[in-house]
Amino acid sequence: MLPKILITGGAGFIGKKLALKLSVGNEIHILDNLNPQIHGINPDISWMKECGIRFHFGDINDIATI
């Protein structure tokens, strides 16, 4: 069983770099709300699936999501 790591805001520039580094030997989960002001209208998150990273859409301010 691989260690699980949750990266909040992981779809951004720094989060992506971190997720890719940690994806070897770990089960990575990314939680991001894909805010259009930061990620644009149609963000490309296909790299996550290609690397076996699991994406969860949500906001860290939402207790039910966490």
pLDDT in tens, 27-46: 999 999 999 999 999 999 99
Question: C-alpha dihedral over 15, 61, 63, 39, to 10 degrees?
Answer: -40
pTM of the model: 0.89
Mean pLDDT across 47-61: 94
Interatomic CA distance for residues 8 and 33, integer angstroms:
9
Backbone angles phi, psi at 52, to 5 degrees: 75, 20
